Amino acid sequence: MVSQGSADGTPLTDASGQGAGRSAYVSDDEKWTAVVGRDAGADGLFVYSVRTTGVYCRPSCPSRTAKRDNVRFHSGPEEAGALGFRPCKRCRPDRRLPLSPHGAAIVEACRIIEASEEPPSLESLAAAVGLSRFHFHRLFKEATGVTPKAYAVAHRSRRVREELAAGVPVTEAIYNAGFNSNGRFYAASHELLGMTPTAFRSGGAGELIRFAAGDCSLGSIVVAATAKGLCAILLGDDPDALIHDLEDRFPRAELVGGDPDFDRTVATVVAFVEAPGTGLDLPLDVRGTAFQQRVWKALRAIPAGTTASYSEIAQRIGLPAAARAVARACASNALAVAIPCHRVVRHDGGLSGYRWGVERKRTLLEREAGSGVKAPSGDGHPAASPRVR
């Protein structure tokens, strides 16, 4: 496959190795074909990691081809590095490659699409990279082989498939892929997956989880707990949708509602949601990858009444290039307010997407700003006070 290059034939890639080529390589099958064929035209469009070696490579890497089952694809070095993979010493996927001016614009547009919670409009993309709407659309299709809209759909589809294939719960996969509501995903699930998402469900087999739905000033709330501690605090407008969310997260668990003894726990959680700066004196059952756990611990260290940007959190956990991965970890958080992802904002201070709704985020921040009460210590453990049982 011939790559779309600059005037001197060099690939269109940015400082981190991202680029735009003749094909968007949006499906895993296309990417695997490029890896097997050591297609240099795919360099800069994605990298792949090998589970057994712990390294990530360019598609054209001359190293021996790994087994397909051990390979995972990533949008670029930043994503692979955030997951703990090291750059290959042979193909050096973390090194810069030359980039043409128009190539830089297309690369930036691709990154905007991938980082956006909803597909950005053609007008906003063109304005963001300093091109006219018509010129940008033509250049983007020439460089990637697809329209910006098709690229956004393919990117989401790929991410959902990767997440579900890895055993991630449906709801978490939905938000990791950039959908900001369950409803929008389920409406498009057959088009994206070719089947219902329940076919991919996993996790929670044989586990007993008590739960209850209620109301608070932010709307509906569902609280759930295992024997270890709170495993979910979900906020929304529809309690039935929140229970469906809980079922997605623990599809094979035994969910038990209507327990009067659990009402005290729910009351404690609701009181905390109404005054988040006071802290929550209940144990938590926090579940996530090692990277997510690092991010969530950093979030609990943000004092009430203050905020931090995604980039600042990435710096604090020692991965300054992982701001987008930090955003995905925030979106995967199942313990609303207890793990305060509402305290993370854009670098300009703007209130970016919040999986429980931007208005809820605004309300929580306003409450904390006016409370004058310090947040929990952020050590990842509940305070030393009597537990509700």
Helix H or strand E encompassing 74: strand 71-74
Of 337, 203, 213, 194, nearest to 273 by C-alpha is: 337
Phi/psi of residue 114, each to 5°? Answer: -70, -30
Of 30, 21, 31, nearest to 57 by C-alpha is: 31
Whether 57 is catalytic is yes
Helix H or strand E encompassing 175: helix 170-176
Structural contact between residues 343 and 302, judged by C-beta atoms closer than 8 angstroms: yes
Of 187, 198, 316, 215, nearest to 251 by C-alpha is: 198
The pair of three-digit structure tokens given for residue 185, joined into one six-digit string = 């995903």
Whether 231 is catalytic is no
Which candidate in 61, 88, 91, 341 is catalytic? Answer: 341
Which candidate in 57, 61, 88, 231 is catalytic? Answer: 57
Burial of 123 (0-12, 13-18, 19+ CB in 10 A): exposed
Structural contact between residues 202 and 251, judged by C-beta atoms closer than 8 angstroms: yes
Give residues with Cβ within 8 angstroms of 294, minimum separation 6.
Answer: 317
The pair of three-digit structure tokens given for residue 371, joined into one six-digit string = 């409370």
Other Cβ atoms within 10 Å of 106 Cβ, number: 28
Give residues with Cβ within 8 angstroms of 18, minimum separation 6.
Answer: 44, 45, 75, 76, 107, 110, 111
Structural contact between residues 59 and 93, judged by C-beta atoms closer than 8 angstroms: no
Give residues with Cβ within 8 angstroms of 123, minimum separation 6.
Answer: 133
Catalytic residues: 57, 341
